[in-house]
């Protein structure tokens, strides 16, 4: 039984198979319309969602399957039923589950029961679906993944962690610029060490974007961090992706954002609008890569 809890669940050839398959779906949205015939998949949310919810819903539907949207606070899970008991019950009704959760450990508990395939739609530690869509976007633009540099500006969060794991397969150079006190997660550090992956770490974002082919940013205040909003906005203010920062990068650099964007904070209106054709293609590619993930999770590719 296959699970996608993080990108290290994939083999290197599987990683690239997913990227190429995602591009095939982008070029032919009606491809393989019966892949999930007679399969029912739950989409379980502990956090709000736009792109994950819509892309998985449409992906399952266009592959011929059935989806069921569930919210944790509407289940007995929200009243104390264990994640183990909930998973066993769901496995009696469903063929698979995508979960967007506060806890990577919860995902691992579900997957370790091995009673239905589990897809990580976002956790506190990883966002593999997003990173796959991002690498697919870059790959589809014709940029050689093993010869480019991605400069991530902001907190080393779940998206950054997944981009790092993906770079182990692609050989992409990764740099990050972040304030003091925001360190790479110990688990990710151990993976980096295990695979002898070097990460460029800067405090000054102008240093990070030198020789970068891609500048990547994300919100300063993630879901669940609202109480820290004002402090975070102050700390990260020097890390805004704006026209001034772009002057320190190559002329042909592109800017990416996983959305939602807080315009005027981590990215200015001017830069967001300049690179909107890429950023919204990223968002669309979530649909196409989700289809490839679903085929993979059920052993169809």
Active site residues: 100, 127, 130, 218, 258, 286
How far is residue 242's CA from residue 150's CA, in Å, rounded to a whole number?
Answer: 16
What's the rounded Cα separation, in Å, for the pair 117 and 51?
Answer: 21
- What count of other Cβ atoms lies within 10 Å of the Cβ of residue 243? 10
In the numeric block, the tokens 């692609």 are attached to: 170
**Per-residue buried b or exposed e for 136-148, using 16+ beta carbons within 10 Å of the residue's own CB:** bbbbbeeeebeeb
4: β partners:
119
How far is Cα of residue 187 from the mean position of the Cα atoms in its chain? 17
**Preceding omega of 201 cis (within 30 degrees of 0):** no
For residue 38, the 8-state DSSP code is T
Phi and psi torsions of 176, nearest 5°: -140, 140
């Amino acid at each position: 039984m296959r699970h996608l809890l993080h990108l290290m669940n994939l083999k290197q050839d599987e990683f690239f198979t997913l990227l190429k398959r995602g591009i095939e779906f982008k070029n032919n949205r009606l491809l393989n319309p019966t892949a999930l015939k007679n399969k029912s998949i739950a989409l379980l949310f502990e956090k709000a969602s736009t792109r994950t919810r819509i892309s998985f819903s449409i992906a399952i539907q266009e592959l011929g399957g059935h989806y069921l949207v569930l919210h944790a606070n509407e289940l007995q899970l929200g009243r104390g039923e264990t994640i183990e008991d909930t998973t066993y019950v769901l496995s009696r009704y469903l063929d698979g589950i995508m979960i967007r959760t506060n806890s990577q450990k919860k995902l691992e508990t579900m997957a370790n029961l091995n009673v239905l395939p589990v897809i990580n739609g976002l956790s506190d530690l990883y966002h593999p679906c997003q990173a796959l869509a991002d690498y697919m976007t870059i790959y589809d633009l014709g940029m050689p993944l093993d010869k480019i540099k991605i400069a991530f500006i902001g907190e080393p969060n779940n998206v950054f962690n997944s981009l790092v794991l993906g770079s182990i397969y692609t050989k992409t150079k990764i740099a990050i610029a972040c304030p003091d006190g925001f360190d790479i997660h110990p688990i990710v550090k151990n993976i980096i060490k295990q695979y002898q992956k070097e990460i460029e770490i800067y405090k000054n974002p102008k240093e990070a974007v030198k020789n970068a082919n891609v500048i990547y940013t994300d919100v300063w205040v993630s879901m669940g961090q609202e109480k820290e909003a004002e402090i975070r906005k102050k700390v990260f203010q020097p890390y805004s992706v704006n026209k001034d920062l772009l002057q320190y990068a190559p002329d042909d650099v592109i800017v990416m954002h996983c959305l939602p964007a807080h315009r005027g904070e981590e990215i200015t209106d001017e830069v967001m609008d300049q690179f909107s054709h890429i950023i919204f293609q990223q968002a669309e590619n979530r649909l196409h890569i989700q289809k490839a993930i679903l085929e993979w999770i059920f052993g169809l590719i």
